[in-house]
Amino acid sequence: MGAPTDDRLDARLTALHDDLASLDGVLVAFSGGADSAFLLAAAVRALGADRVVAATAVSPSLAADELPAARAFAAGLGVRHLTPGTDELSREGYVANGADRCFHCKATLLDTLRPLAAELCLTAVATGTNADDAVAGFRPGIRAAAERGARTPLLDAGLTKADVREASRRWGLETADKPALACLASRIAYGLQVTPAGLARVDRAERALRAHLARAGAAVQDLRVRDLGDGQARVELDAAALAHVDDAAREVVRAEGFTAVDTRVFRSGSMNAALA
Longest dimension (CA), the chain: 56
CA gap 128, 138 in Å, rounded: 17
Cβ count within 10 A of residue 41? 22
Catalytic-residue membership of 183: yes
Bridge partners, 55 (sequence order): 29, 82
Alpha-carbon 195 to chain mean position: 19
Q: How far lies 106's CA from each of 58, 109, 165, in Å?
A: 13, 5, 24
CA gap 232, 226 in Å, rounded: 8
Nearest to 31 by CA among 152, 162, 174, 180: 180
Backbone φ and ψ of 158, nearest 5° = 80, 20
Strands 223-229 and 232-237: antiparallel
Amino acid at 35: D
**3 state SS of 178:** coil
Q: Active-site residue among 102, 105, 121, 183?
A: 183
Strands 80-82 and 232-237: unpaired
Cβ count within 10 A of residue 263? 14
Active site residues: 183
